[in-house]
Amino acid sequence: MSDISKDDVRDRLGNVDQIRDLLFGQKIKEYDQRYENSTQRLDRIESELSQFQTEIRDRITNLQESLTTEIRSGLDSLEKQLKYLSLTTHEQTSKLQQEIHLVEQKNVHGLETLQKAVTSQNNFFKHDLSHTREKLEEDILFLKGQVVGELEQGLAQLKEAKLSRIDLADVLFELCLKVKGAEFIPNLKEGSENHLKTDFLLPEQHGSESHH
C-alpha cells in the first residue's frame, strides 16, 4: 500500500469535485435549486414589498393631500358662511333696531300729539268755562242792578204818585215778568193774569179784598 504513489491515489480518486459530485451531487443540486428559488422568491417578495410600500406611501400622500384640500375647502366654506351669517345677523339686527327706533319715535310723536291735543282741549274748556262764569256773573250783576233799579223806580213812583196797593202789585208783577222772562207765566190768559196778580198783593190788600 505504501508503494502506491500520490499520483496513483489521485488518479484513482479523481478530482475532488468529481468525488463531491459522486457523493453529494444530487443533494447539492437540490439545495442550490432551493437556494436559487428562495433567493428569487425573496427578491420577488422584496420587490413586491417595495412596490407595496411605494403604493401605500403614494396612497397616504394622496389621501393626506385630498384630506388637506377637503379640510381647507370646508374651513373656507365655513369661514364664508360664518362671515355671511355675521353680516346677515348684523344687518338684521341693525334693521330691527331701526324698526324699533321708528316705532318708538311714532309712539313718542303720537303721545306728544295726544298730550298737546288734550292740553289744548283742556285749555279751551278752561277758557270757555272761565268766560261763561264771567258772563254769568256779569248777567247776575246786571240783573241785580236791574232789579234794584226797578224797585227803586217803583218806590219812587209810589212815593211821588202815592200809588195804591193794586198799582204796586202791578208794578211788582211787571218787574217779575222782566226778571223771569216769558217762561214765568207760559200761555198766560187774561183770566189767570188777575189771579196771579193777586198772589203778588200785600197781606193787607188780600184782607181788604176779602172784605169786599
pLDDT the model gives residue 52:
86
Q: Would you list the domain boundaries of the chain?
A: 163-211
Give the tens place of pLDDT for each residue, 18-61.
666 666 667 767 777 778 888 888 888 888 888 888 888 888 88
Q: Which three cell numbers stand for residue 39?
A: 433567493
Q: What is the pTM of this model?
A: 0.33
Cα-Cα-Cα-Cα dihedral of 89, 91, 97, 99, to 10°? -120
Nearest C-alpha neighbor of 63 from the set 55, 51, 79: 55
d(CA 206, CA 179): 24
Q: Which three cell numbers stand for residue 71?
A: 379640510
